[in-house]
Amino acid sequence: MTQGDSASLANPAARSSSAMAMLPRIELMRACYGGTEAMRQMTTRFLPKQRRETDEDYQNRLNSTTAVNKLREAVDTASAKPFTNMIGLNGANEKLTGWMEDADLQGNHLHLVAREFFDEAILTGLSHLIVDYPTTEGLANYAVQKASKIRPFMRGVKAEDMLAVYHERIGGVRTITHARIASTKYEFNRETFQEELWDIVFVLEPGLVQRWKRKRGTVFGRPGFAYLGQGGSILTPNPLPYRFEMVDPGIGGGWIFEGERKVDLKRVPLVTMTAGDEESDGVVRPIFQDLAYKQIEHWQSSSEQRVILSAARFPMLAASGINLETEIDEDGRVVFEIGPNKILTTPDPQGRWYFIECEGKSIEAGRKDIEALEMQMDMLSLNPIISQPSKQYVAQNERSITETRVNTVVRDLAITAKDALHQAITLMGEWVGEDYSGVTLDMNFDFSGTDQKAKNIGSIIQAMAMKGLSRQGGLEELKRLNLLSDEFDIEAEVARKIEDMAGDPPPPPAPKSERDFPGGKTRPN
């Protein structure tokens, strides 16, 4: 196939069965993580319409419903634990160290790229890193390439943008043999002064990269969903309803083969991390999926509670023995005016006006239901009540056990992320013909509970005071426990302490025997 060919049957955007299975879960997690705005966009999928509820009433109810975003809190808290300290490299040469200052060629340090990679895995269950290398086309020789500072870089790929990944066992090693990644590109048309949206698909195989494109339409606003065949949708982080004119090439139609290039790699430069129960190849159950469903349940319950409050917080005027001359409006509803400037009378001596007020039992039941849901959400968030002393759901010893379990889960995921990042660094070396397999990463794996961490710090300080631990060793341990900032210079602090001690008066001479008093005096007989 040559560049510019249009393949009527080829559909590089076709999703694999695994990708199709993951799509509803990814959409669920993104919508809940997006909070109020994103959950409102899901309309009846998250907030069912009640029987005989008008469209106007439903829209008002939807617009008055707000999310308690426990999912975002849980994901952000869990993903922050391994990154409390800056990621460090051991055994890296000057070149690699410089690359890590701008790991993605977007000005982001490796620490930020790794944090986003880990955060994506915690949320959706899958996260991908592609180790790319800019094309050297048009650069005459190696010297010109070196002068242009072309070098490998990392780029995160969201779970919904990974259309397909296929593996084979080669030499007993599970190896990626084919992958397809979706992207979009906006081109400015100088004749019409409009943006044109193109769907892009990259096909990756060992030693080969292909690029396909298809025009989707003229854009009036960035679309929230990009439909790419088989009914699948590529979600943007903020799925808002923008307008655009679609070009309908038919399923699998309209794709143009833009070109391919050979690469000097024997494997696909893709690294994948999973976080959750892997049900089958490429199908993962995110660790916070139950929390997302519980957040939807809270969304529905709080909406119903708001309706109950709106109806029950105001007393209802009632009357007996009254014969009213009623007026009917255009909608067939009775018109009856009351207010401070109106007089209520009754011709019947037994007639009366009175107010009916709700006892509040339904309101109280709704409030208790919401409180119970929030407690369950806290327990499902893997961060239960540890930092919330006002919510004592369980005893102190049970909180310590839960905190240990939480830290164990996050620590295991952090180790998985560390291995994935090591693979990415090794791939960067393969692009330039260097071996970076001996480079190791320093990440924070100390997720000790609050009480245990306080005990550890106290033990270190006591050991330093008793001369059982050197000052430098103690400071290094305190820095590892995140008690000292990353900018704290231990060697400079030790040097300053030595200078301070040089200016102190000399200590009294040590006793020569057990009978000696301090200062050289002898114990009397």
Residues 511 and 525: their CA atoms lie apart, in Å, by 17
pLDDT for the residue numbered 191:
85
Shared-domain flag, residues 324 and 411: no
pLDDT for the residue numbered 356:
75
Shared-domain flag, residues 484 and 410: yes
Q: Is residue 323 part of a domain?
A: yes
pLDDT greater at residue 149 or residue 78:
78
Segments forming the whole domain that contains residue 461: 405-502
Residues 361 and 367: their CA atoms lie apart, in Å, by 10
What is the value of pTM for the model shown? 0.72
Q: Is residue 478 part of a domain?
A: yes
What's the pLDDT band for 369 if we cut at 50, 70, 90?
A: confident
Instruction: Give pLDDT tens digits for 89-145.
Output: 999 999 999 999 999 999 999 999 999 999 999 999 999 999 998 876 666 566 666
Shared-domain flag, residues 349 and 411: no
Domain count, the chain: 2
Judged against a pLDDT cut of 60, whether residue 185 lies above it is answered with: yes
For residue 71, give every residue at least 6 positions away whose Cβ sits within 8 Å of its Cβ, in sequence order, or none.
29, 32, 33, 288, 291, 292, 295, 381
pLDDT greater at residue 76 or residue 489:
76
Per-chain mean pLDDT for the chain: 78
Strand residue runs (E) in 190-301: 194-205, 208-219, 225-227, 233-235, 244-246, 255-262, 270-274, 276-280, 283-286
pLDDT for the residue numbered 495:
79
Q: Single out the residue of 193, 180, 267 nearest to residue 232, CA to CA.
A: 180
pLDDT for the residue numbered 492:
79
pLDDT for the residue numbered 112:
95
Query: With the C-alpha atoms ordered 74, 78, 79, 81, is the resulting torsion angle positive or negative?
Result: positive
Judged against a pLDDT cut of 50, whether residue 231 lies above it is answered with: no
Shared-domain flag, residues 433 and 493: yes
Judged against a pLDDT cut of 50, whether residue 525 lies above it is answered with: yes
Q: Is residue 7 part of a domain?
A: no
pLDDT greater at residue 167 or residue 307:
167
* Number of Cα atoms under 13 Å in the Cβ half of residue 332: 0
In this structure, of 59-63, 401-405, 410-414, 420-424, the range with the lowest mean pLDDT score is: 401-405
- As a whole-number percent, the residues of the chain with pLDDT over 70 amount to 70
What's the pLDDT band for 48 if we cut at 50, 70, 90?
A: very high
Strand residue runs (E) in 359-439: none
Shared-domain flag, residues 350 and 412: no
What's the pLDDT band for 210 if we cut at 50, 70, 90?
A: very high
In this structure, of 111-115, 366-370, 415-419, the range with the lowest mean pLDDT score is: 366-370
Residues 209 and 211: their CA atoms lie apart, in Å, by 7
What's the pLDDT band for 390 if we cut at 50, 70, 90?
A: very low
In this structure, of 15-29, 213-227, 301-315, 328-342, the range with the lowest mean pLDDT score is: 213-227
Shared-domain flag, residues 423 and 335: no
What's the pLDDT band for 236 if we cut at 50, 70, 90?
A: very low
Residues 179 and 19: their CA atoms lie apart, in Å, by 11
pLDDT for the residue numbered 78:
87
Q: Is residue 475 part of a domain?
A: yes
pLDDT for the residue numbered 249:
41
Structure tokens at 32: 């809940």
Q: Is residue 418 part of a domain?
A: yes
pLDDT for the residue numbered 101:
94
For residue 201, give every residue at least 6 positions away whose Cβ sits within 8 Å of its Cβ, in sequence order, or none.
12, 13, 163, 180, 181, 182, 183, 211, 212, 213, 228, 255
pLDDT for the residue numbered 140:
59
Query: DSSP assignment, residue 415?
Result: H
Judged against a pLDDT cut of 50, whether residue 453 lies above it is answered with: yes
Q: Is residue 437 part of a domain?
A: yes
Instruction: Give pLDDT tens digits for 422-447.
Output: 999 999 999 999 999 999 998 888 76
Structure tokens at 71: 């999912």
Instruction: Give pLDDT tens digits for 17-43.
Output: 999 999 999 999 999 999 999 999 999
Instruction: Give pLDDT tens digits for 249-295.
Output: 444 568 899 999 998 888 999 999 999 889 988 899 999 999 999 99
In this structure, of 219-228, 232-241, 335-344, the range with the lowest mean pLDDT score is: 232-241
Crossing angle between the packed helical segments 471-480 and 450-465, to the nearest 10 degrees: 170
For residue 507, give every residue at least 6 positions away whose Cβ sits within 8 Å of its Cβ, in sequence order, or none.
none
Q: Is residue 333 part of a domain?
A: yes
pLDDT for the residue numbered 252:
54
Q: Is residue 346 part of a domain?
A: yes
Read off the pLDDT of each residue in 491-497 and give the average, rounded to a whole number.
77
pLDDT for the residue numbered 523:
57
